[in-house]
Chain A
Amino acid sequence: MEGSKHSWKAWLYLLPVIILTLVFTVWPIINTIRIAFLKDYSMIGAMGGKTYEFGFANFSKVVTYKRFTTCLKNTVLLCVLTVPISTMLALLIAVCLNAIKPLQRLLQTIFFLPYVTNSIAIGMVFAAMFNMIGKPSSPDSVGIINNFLGIFGVAPINWINVGSEYWANLTVMVIYIVWNALPFKILVLLGGLQGVNKQYYEAAKVDGTSRVRTFWRITVPMLSPMLAYVLITGFIGGFKEYSSVVGVFGENMGPAGQKGALNTMVGFIYDSLSQNNQGRASAAALILFGIILVVTMINLYVSKKKVHY
């Protein structure tokens, strides 16, 4: 066959990529799986010639850790809260943006700004805004959010400082993550909206369709591929949440005095690595992988039924 004569050339061109993928993707995955089943594996120990017992010890240890269950709970909560909220908000904003003509470009740019800003930096700004103390020099002053709420007669809330409560911490995180996730989703959905033939809307209008019905019966189905994409990537990203917590709470991963109160799965893996317990980290990573896999499969299954391509 003509193709096979030249196929060695194709392989040659692909070689660099294949090598890089093997070294930096495939091997680490295999190694992670291997290490996950080696009890209390540590690289330093392994280099010292130590051997490790094979089995599920890492997994059973990880799942019984209280710290791990906290991380799992935080991750799932953040995911379940932020993905639907941000998707719905993004859809709403995209539809509104699409409906207006003047200032559309300007607003589009403004909504896109968070996307090009460093998330740690944004997190620090959020931390400042939600702070209990406004100016260190005047002990009575509060942060901008509490100031704002004060207008409506709401007493200052301890959002993120020492002794703050879990729900307050979580609220801040949800607001931050939603805000951070919006631009990308708006961009994708707006792109989808602009691709919808205006005549469908004109036809609906001539037929006397109400706005709400037009939205649910025409806009949403027409956008369903984009919505599915945004939801699936949103859930995957949500389970990998980490830097947002670092941004708001710093490496403490929680308010002062409650270290790790808002830690996430990825945070747990980092912590294990920094404690030189690669075995535990690998097991946690595999669990996270499993969760993401299952959720994505469910997402794909649902979207196959609901999405109109």
Chain B
Amino acid sequence: MKVVLQNLTKIFPSRNKKTPEEQVVAVNDFTFEIPDGKLVGLLGPSGCGKSTTLYMICGLQKPTGGSIFFGEDDVTHLEPEHRGVGLVFQNYALYPHMTVKQNILFPLQNMKKELMKEVDERREAMAAEQLAAFNAANGIEDAAADAAKVPVEVAAAAENVAAEGITAENAAEVTVAKPPVFRPKLPARQKMLKELMLDRAYMAARLVQIDNLMDRKPSELSGGQQQRVAIARALVKMPRVLLLDEPLSNLDARLRLQTREEIRRIQRETGITTVFVTHDQEEAMSISDLIVVMKLGVVQQTGKPQDIYDNPANLFVAKFLGTPPINVFDGEVKNGALYVGEDCLMKLPGIADQPVHVGIRPEGFVLDKNGPLHMELVNVEVMGRDMSVISKNAAAQTPTVRSIIDSDLRSEIGGETVSFSIKPNKIFVFHKETEERLY
């Protein structure tokens, strides 16, 4: 199911009535459509309003303005319990007094009514099957037709296994065919309900591979295991939308890598529309179908991870995505050409003369003796396939500039300086004040 956010805004009022300007605009005019079955990464630095957005989607916080749609339904004013969402909190919020099994069962026990319907359907199916088999065994004609329209009363009458299971229909048959009476043998409803819930709990647990930990308390689990329990608890009710708030923040590097793959796998397997909050750009890029980059409550850019990386809308997005980060220089556009210091990097027709920020991705540097960009060489770090060439430039906004180059070319480096030419699709030019992309 798709989720549509329309001009979503959240303002936390100032604590002090005398200074209303101290209000916090946590989310500002957020408009985005999350396509059905996709995994969307909500990305941004700490305090940019990611959790607030998530809480508004699940209903724990009421938006100050704008609306939220699940599919075609406007859920803006719906209470969280009626939205059918699963939420994994930033710190899991597992109930500490319950075992893993009880934690996972907890949401199911809240939906007994719906589950009971499923039980009744199963019972009807079972009764129908038994009736068909019974009719076949006793050579009763038209068995298929009878079996197809087993009335609900069969299930109801069979409430108790021992109860006499004669319904109006087979009572009629009894009079015709005389001796054997059809009695559907069905387990009790409550028992079936319990089994159904347990089945589903174990299914969710197996999905996140914690079915061997079901009898432990959360305090007896590692951070990664707790996190998986939290995911299982959110998944077990088969939510329409799954919301994950920085679920990997407490994990160590390896487990984080492993778990994010797992989240991806689970999301693919279940096909549940998922929103995944993180401030780690690598995490977001690696598993999301789409990412949304936020800053101070304002959406900066949305799109496929690679598209955003290749085409950042502004300096913030360019800086935020990519490891190692983009290198930024003070530059200038003069007479239709781009200068960094004295070096003319490229022609830039159609842009007025002005000072600018120049961003160059680390992989955008090409070793070239006659290249236009001259740098002072500081260090070379060879790491297998690639090497980092660390150099200095007076115009750079950081003390050193890091470029990633094929390590086969290391013999070409030497001396005090190094010169580069720049791949044109790896260089971006931003307005000095607005920081919007110019090129």
A308 nearest CB neighbor, chain B only: B97
Question: Distance (Å) between the CB of B116 and the closest chain A CB?
Answer: 15
Interface positions, chain B 240-277, Cβ under 8 Å from A, are none
Is residue A203 contacting chain B, with contact meaning CB distance below 8 A?
Answer: yes
Chain A proximity mask over B64-86: 1 for CB below 8 Å, otherwise 0: 00000000000000011111011
Residues of chain A with a CB closer than 8 A to B237's CB: 207
**At the interface with chain A, which of B105-113, B386-394, B408-416, B417-425?**
B105-113
Residues of chain B with a CB closer than 8 A to A202's CB: 60, 87, 89, 93
Residue in A204, A206, A208 whose beta carbon sits within 8 Å of that of B111 in the complex: A208
Residue in A209, A218, A222, A224 whose beta carbon sits within 8 Å of that of B110 in the complex: A209
Residue in B79, B95, B111 whose beta carbon sits within 8 Å of that of A200 in the complex: B95
Residues of chain A with a CB closer than 8 A to B338's CB: none
Is residue A118 contacting chain B, with contact meaning CB distance below 8 A?
Answer: no
Question: Distance (Å) between the CB of B42 and the closest chain A CB?
Answer: 18
CA distance A57 to B85 in the complex (A): 73
Is residue B58 contacting chain A, with contact meaning CB distance below 8 A?
Answer: yes
Residues of chain B with a CB closer than 8 A to A206's CB: 58-60, 80-81, 83, 85-87
Take A206-B86, A207-B237, A208-B81 as given contacts and tell me if A308 and B93 are in contact as well, using a CB distance cutoff of 8 Å. Answer: no
CA distance A120 to B86 in the complex (A): 56
B93 touches A200 (CB 8 A): yes
CA distance A280 to B37 in the complex (A): 81
A213 touches B95 (CB 8 A): no
Residue in B87, B95, B110 whose beta carbon sits within 8 Å of that of A210 in the complex: B110
B89 touches A209 (CB 8 A): no
B230 nearest CB neighbor, chain A only: A203
Is residue B301 contacting chain A, with contact meaning CB distance below 8 A?
Answer: no
Question: Distance (Å) between the CB of B101 and the closest chain A CB?
Answer: 14
Interface positions, chain A 208-238, Cβ under 8 Å from B, are 208-210, 213, 217-218, 221-222, 224
Is residue B96 contacting chain A, with contact meaning CB distance below 8 A?
Answer: yes
B110 touches A203 (CB 8 A): no
B96 touches A213 (CB 8 A): no
Q: What number of A-B contacts does a CB cutoff of 8 Å give?
A: 55
A208 touches B95 (CB 8 A): no
Report the interface size class on chain A. Answer: 10 to 19
CA distance A210 to B106 in the complex (A): 12
Among A199, A209, A224, max chain B CB count under 10 A is at A199
Residues of chain B with a CB closer than 8 A to A221's CB: 95, 97
A214 nearest CB neighbor, chain B only: B110
CA distance A190 to B233 in the complex (A): 29
A217 touches B85 (CB 8 A): no
Is residue A34 contacting chain B, with contact meaning CB distance below 8 A?
Answer: no
B96 touches A308 (CB 8 A): yes
Is residue A205 contacting chain B, with contact meaning CB distance below 8 A?
Answer: yes
Interface positions, chain A 171-209, Cβ under 8 Å from B, are 197, 199-200, 202-209
Residue in A203, A210, A222, A308 whose beta carbon sits within 8 Å of that of B89 in the complex: A203
Is residue B91 contacting chain A, with contact meaning CB distance below 8 A?
Answer: yes
Residues of chain A with a CB closer than 8 A to B79's CB: 205
B103 nearest CB neighbor, chain A only: A203
Residues of chain A with a CB closer than 8 A to B82's CB: 208
CA distance A204 to B58 in the complex (A): 12
Residues of chain B with a CB closer than 8 A to A208's CB: 80-82, 107, 110-111
Q: A206-B85, A213-B109, A221-B97 provided; 13 other pairs, C-beta below 8 A?
A: A199-B89, A202-B87, A203-B89, A205-B80, A206-B86, A207-B81, A207-B107, A207-B237, A208-B81, A208-B82, A209-B81, A210-B110, A308-B96
Closest 5 A/B residue pairs (Cβ): A208-B81, A308-B97, A207-B107, A199-B93, A221-B97
**A interface with B by C-beta (< 8 Å):** 197, 199-200, 202-210, 213, 217-218, 221-222, 224, 308
**B interface with A by C-beta (< 8 Å):** 58-60, 79-83, 85-87, 89, 91, 93, 95-97, 106-107, 109-111, 233, 237
Query: Could you name 30 residue pairs across A and B whose Cβ atoms are closer than 8 Å?
Result: A197-B93, A199-B89, A200-B93, A200-B95, A202-B60, A202-B87, A202-B89, A203-B89, A203-B93, A203-B95, A204-B106, A205-B81, A206-B83, A206-B86, A206-B87, A207-B106, A207-B107, A207-B110, A207-B233, A207-B237, A208-B80, A208-B81, A208-B82, A208-B107, A208-B110, A209-B81, A209-B110, A218-B95, A221-B97, A308-B96
